[in-house]
Chains A and B, each alone.
Chain A
Amino acid sequence: AAGVIQSPRHLIKEKRETATLKCYPIPRHDTVYWYQQGPGQDPQFLISFYEKMQSDKGSIPDRFSAQQFSDYHSELNMSSLELGDSALYFCASSLGYLSGNTIYFGEGSWLTVV
């Protein structure tokens, strides 16, 4: 079965640069979530979209922005990168924006800021 696709899988950027992560949800899934997982940490919720509208916002820095497009794929844009932004970024998707719907995660994008 098709899963959540994230690209790129690995990314190395320098401080103050910009990075863009892409996410393609499971077909027919209309809700996308972004999570950030620092080294040795649990995943932290950043932001979510339902039907192309932002539905919830977590601890996402102002330097980060995201959107969901008409084909339901999503992009996370990160500007003025800092060393502390180095993390594993997960995109996840679910069918419908209802509590309890199973949220399926992609394989993650490893961002290293040097």
Chain B
Amino acid sequence: AQKVTQAQTEISVVEKEDVTLDCVYETRDTTYYLFWYKQPPSGELVFLIRRNSFDEQNEISGRYSWNFQKSTSSFNFTITASQVVDSAVYFCALSEAGSGGSNYKLTFGKGTLLTVNP
């Protein structure tokens, strides 16, 4: 069964600090997809990134970067020079290819509440 663990329940930083959100996953599939979503206080879920299991290249998008390491089953997310607007709950999620391609639903971690203080 698939499982996503976000061990950090809450993180509090001061603006301009760098912060890394951890995500560890479990899956028996060799083909799977990892996602990060942001949920600001207003409630919507905002897609940030998708990564497939065959692509271990790290990715950078502005102040955001992601480190995918299959050897440790981790997909960590780093925000550089954090800003108050980054305050939100961040969810890591997993989607397996499944037999016959039937397990397309996302399994979410419990989320990490990031608070960036001015």
Select the stretch in B18-26, B39-47, B61-69, B72-80 that faces chain A: B39-47
Tell me whether A101 and B104 are in contact (CB under 8 A).
yes
Set of chain A residues within 8 Å of B47, measured between Cβ atoms: 102-105
- Chain B window 13-40, contacts with chain A (Cβ cutoff 8 Å), 1 for yes, 0 for no: 0000000000000000001110101000
| CB of A58 within 8 Å of the partner chain | yes
| CB of A72 within 8 Å of the partner chain | no
Choose among A97, A98, A102, A107 the residue that contacts B44 (Cβ–Cβ < 8 A).
A107
Q: Closest CB-CB distance, A107 to chain B, in whole Å? A: 4
Contacts between the two chains (Cβ within 8 Å), count: 71
Choose among B43, B95, B102 the residue that contacts A100 (Cβ–Cβ < 8 A).
B95
Interface size, B (range): 20 to 34
Choose among A90, A99, A102 the residue that contacts B103 (Cβ–Cβ < 8 A).
A99
| CB of A56 within 8 Å of the partner chain | yes
Q: How far is the CA of A90 from the CA of B45 in the complex (A)?
A: 9
| CB of A25 within 8 Å of the partner chain | no
A102-B50 contact, Cβ under 8 Å, with A42-B108, A42-B109, A90-B45? yes
A43-B104 contact, Cβ under 8 Å, with A99-B33, A99-B96, A105-B37? no
Tell me whether B106 and A103 are in contact (CB under 8 A).
yes
Set of chain A residues within 8 Å of B101, measured between Cβ atoms: 97-99
Residues of chain B at the chain A interface (Cβ within 8 Å): 31-33, 35, 37, 42-47, 50, 52, 91, 95-98, 101-111
A-B contact pairs, 10 of them (CB 8 A): A43-B45, A43-B108, A45-B107, A48-B104, A48-B105, A97-B104, A98-B104, A99-B33, A99-B104, A103-B47
